[in-house]
Amino acid sequence: MSSSRELPKELKELVTSAVESIIGIDVPAPLGCHYRHNELRDEWEITLFAAKTEIIGGPDDGRNTASRFWLDLDQLRGIMTEVASFGWQAVEAGEGDEVGPNVAVIGQYQGYQVWLRILAEAPARYEAGRSADVLAAEFRNLW
Cα separations (Å) of 78 from 30, 74, 107, 123? 24, 6, 11, 26
Report whether pLDDT(118) > 60: yes
Report whether pLDDT(2) > 50: no
Q: What is the pLDDT of residues 29-65, one digit of tens each?
A: 999 999 999 999 999 999 999 999 999 999 999 999 9
Instruction: Give residue 96's pLDDT band: very low, low, confident or very high (50, 70, 90).
Output: confident
Q: Give the integer Cα–Cα distance in Å for 101 and 18.
A: 17
1 closest CA partner among 33, 37, 44: 37
Q: Which domain holds residue 93?
A: 2-141
Q: What is the pTM of this model?
A: 0.91
Number of domains in the chain: 1
Q: What is the pLDDT of residues 103-117, one digit of tens each?
A: 999 999 999 999 999
Tell me the average pLDDT across 130-142.
Answer: 96
Tell me the average pLDDT across 4-21.
Answer: 95
Longest dimension (CA), the chain: 51
